[in-house]
Chain A
Amino acid sequence: MSDLLEISGLQVEVEGKRILDGVDLTVPTGEVHALMGPNGAGKTSLGYAVMGHPKYQVVGGQILWKGESVLGTPPEQRARRGLFLSLQYPTAIPGVSTANFLRSALKGLGKELPARELLKEVRAQLSLLKMDQAFLSRYINDNFSGGEKKRMEIVQLAVLRPEMAILDETDSGLDVDALRTVAEGVNRVREGGMGVLIITHYQRILEYITPDRVHVMAAGRVIASGGRELVTEIERTGYDPMLRAAGIEEVLPAAAVSG
C-alpha cells in the first residue's frame, strides 16, 4: 500500500509566518477525498505545499507520495511523478497560447505528442468541456472569465492525466451547467484510477464527484475527518460546533495565523 498521498505533521511558513500547523491527511490513489473548512483555514496553502510552491516553506512534518518524500523537489518533478494542482485562481501567462503551454507541459512530463495529435487531443477536450476551439490559440488564462479559467484547468487535467489531482475550489464561480460539465470532466479522468483531493465550500460538486472521505481544516490543521455525512452536517450547522470541539475560538481567518 504505497500509492497514496500521505501528509503528516505538516508545518508550513510563508515569509516566517506559520500557515499550516501540523496537518495530517492521507489520500489513497483512486479515492476521492473532500477538504472543507472556513476561509483562511489553510486549504490552498496545503495544495501549494504539496505541489512545492517556493513561497510555502515546509518547516516540519512530511509529505509522502507513493511512499517517497517530495520535500525538497521542484514542482515540475512532483508533476512528473503524477501530482496535479488545479489552482483556485489560475495564473495568466500573456503571450503563451494554450496549445504552446500544453505542448511544453507534456514535453516536461515526458509525454510529448506529435503536434497534430496534441492539437487533436486538446480540441477534443475543449469540446468536452464545452469551450470554444478559439481557446487553443488564446493566451493561457489571459482575459479568461472566472469560469473559463476553471474549465481550462480541467482541460489541462484531462490532457496531462495525472495520478492524483488536488482541485482547489474548481467549483467556485461556475454556473450550474458548467459545474456539471466540469464534474463530468473530472470523472472521465478518474476512470483511469486518478485520486482526487477536492477543496470546496459547497455540497453541490460532491453530489457529482462523490467523496470517499471528508476532512475539515481550520487554523492550519485538520480538525475533523469522516464520511459523507460530515458534508451534510456542515451544511446544517456550519463550522462553529466543530471549531469549538477543536478548541478553536475565533472563526476569523486571522485565527489561522499564529506567530
Chain B
Amino acid sequence: MTEATLGAAPLTRESALPASLEGGEPLALSRLRELALAAYREMPWPSSTRDEDWRRTAQIDKLDPASFSPSSASPWLPELAGPGPKSSASLFTGAPQAGVESPEARGLRGALTSEPDRWVQLLGSVAPPGLRKLVALNTARFVDGALVHVGRGEQLELPIRLVHGVGDGEASFPRTLIVLEEGASATVLEEWLSPPDARGLLVPVAEVIVGRGARLTHLVSQRLGERSVLQSTLRARQLEGSSYDLSFVLLGGSWSKSYLEVEMAGEGSEFRSAGLCVGRGSQHFDIQTLQDHMARGAVSDLLYRAAVAERARSVFAGLIRVEEGAQKTNAYVQNRNLLLSPTAKADSNPTLEILANDVRCTHGTAAGRIDEEQLFYCQSRGVTREEARRLVVEGFFADVVDHFPEGELREAARGWVLDALDELSRSGALSASPG
C-alpha cells in the first residue's frame, strides 16, 4: 500500500501511513513501524477534558495532523541554525549534506540501513511506541535523525550538535538515539527550530541511554518560530553510577508540549537538570517532567523557571516517582514562575509518588511578580524602568544559566536567552505596568 493508492492524507488523528527509510527499510524496522502504527490506531487522540496530561493545554483538541504534510527535507535548516559552537560533529536532520559526521555521531538513517541489527533494537527501548500517541506517530513516521554512540570509556571533549527543524505547512518527526557505553562521557547540544513565519508541526523523540558510570551533558534548545507547534518527548534511562546533566531552554513556538522523562534505573545514578522558558504574546508552554527512581541511592534534581509576559502561559507538571525498593533516594523538583503582566498565567503542579520509606524528596513551587522595591532600587541608581525589569528577569534566570554546560555552550545558551529578553523589550512586553 502506497500513499497514492490509499488516496488519503498520510496522517490523520486515527491512522498514519508508516514511512520507510530512503535506501531501504530493514525488516526489523518495518516490524517496529507496524507495532507503532497499531499503537497509534489504538490510542485515542489526546483530550483536554479526558486526559490529566492535557487538562491545561486545550490546543491539543484542535490539532489535526492531517493539516500538515510530512516532510523529509529541510535544506534551509543549516542556515537558520547558524554556525553554532565549536563541535566535533554537527548533524542537520533533513539536510544531511550540510552536516559533519564523526565516528560517534551519524545520521540515523545511515546507521539503521548499514547496521540494522545493532541499532534497530534500541529504538523504542526507552520510549516505546505505546508510551503515548505522539511517540507512536514519531516511530511510525521518522525518516531520519541522529545517532550518537560513544564507546566504552571514550571521553569526547567537544560537543556534538544535533539540529532538527520543521518548515511551513509541514510535519516533521526527527528521531534521536544517544547511547553512552560504560564510562563514556560526552556533551550533546540538541536544537529544535523552525523558520520565523512557518506554521509547522515538530514531533521529535529522543531516547537516551547513559551507561554504567557514563556522563552525559545535554543541552536542549527550543527556538521554534512563533507559529509552529512542538510535541516533544525526551526520555532517558540511566544505568548504575551514571550521571546525566540536562539543561533546557524553551523560547519559541505558538504552543508546545514537552515531556522530559528520566528513569533512574541504576543504583547511585545522578540526574541534574535546570531549564527555563521565556513566553510572550499568546505563547503557551506545557512541560511535563518525570524523575522515575527505580533503583536505590539515586539523586535527581530538577529546577524549572518560567517568565511569562503579555498573555503567555506556562504549564508545569513535575512528578517524582520513587518505586518500591528505591531506598535512599534523594529527589527534588522545583518550579518558579515570574508573571510579567496581569494577563500572563502560570500553572505549576509538582507531585511526589513515593513507594519506598527511606527517601528524601522535596518539591517546591512559587509564582510572583517583579518586586517594585527592586525596580526602584535599580532606577534610583540610573537604570531605566524597562531596563530594570529586564535586569530583574535576567537575575531570575541566573541559577539556570549557571547550570548550563560551561564554556561556549553556556555563552550560546545565554545568548538565546538574552535575545528572547531583547525581543520582550522590543515588543514592549517589559514596559507594561506590573499587575
Contact = CB atoms under 8 A, between A and B. Distances in A.
Interface in A41-73: 51-55
Contact of A54 (B376, B391, B392, B394): B376
A115 interface: no
A156 B378 CA distance: 12
Contacts of A55: 372
A96 B391 contact: yes
Interface stretch (A19-27, A99-107, A209-217): A99-107
A52 B385 CA distance: 12
Contact of A79 (B374, B381, B391, B399): B381
Contacts of B374: 91, 93
Nearest to A55: B372
A76 B395 contact: no
B377 A160 contact: no
A139 B384 CA distance: 19
A201 interface: no
A162 to B, nearest CB: 9
Interface string A161-204: 00000000000000000000000000000000000000000000
B272 to A, nearest CB: 19
Contacts, number: 88
B396 interface: yes
Given A54-B372, A91-B373, A91-B374, A96 B380 contact: no
Contact of A108 (B371, B372, B383, B398): B383
Nearest to B305: A95
A198 to B, nearest CB: 17
A80 interface: yes
A108 B381 contact: yes
A95 B377 contact: no
B379 interface: yes
A156 B381 contact: yes
Interface residues of B, number: 24
B398 A95 contact: yes
B387 interface: yes
A248 interface: no
A251 interface: no
B330 to A, nearest CB: 24
Given A87-B377, A104-B383, A160-B382, 13 more contacts: A51-B380, A53-B380, A74-B384, A76-B380, A78-B380, A84-B381, A90-B377, A91-B373, A95-B394, A96-B392, A106-B382, A107-B387, A156-B381
3 closest Cβ pairs, A-B complex:
A95-B395, A95-B398, A108-B382
26 contacts: A52-B379, A52-B380, A53-B376, A53-B380, A55-B372, A74-B385, A75-B376, A75-B380, A79-B379, A79-B382, A87-B377, A87-B380, A93-B378, A93-B392, A95-B395, A95-B399, A96-B395, A100-B391, A101-B378, A104-B378, A104-B383, A105-B382, A108-B383, A108-B387, A109-B381, A139-B398
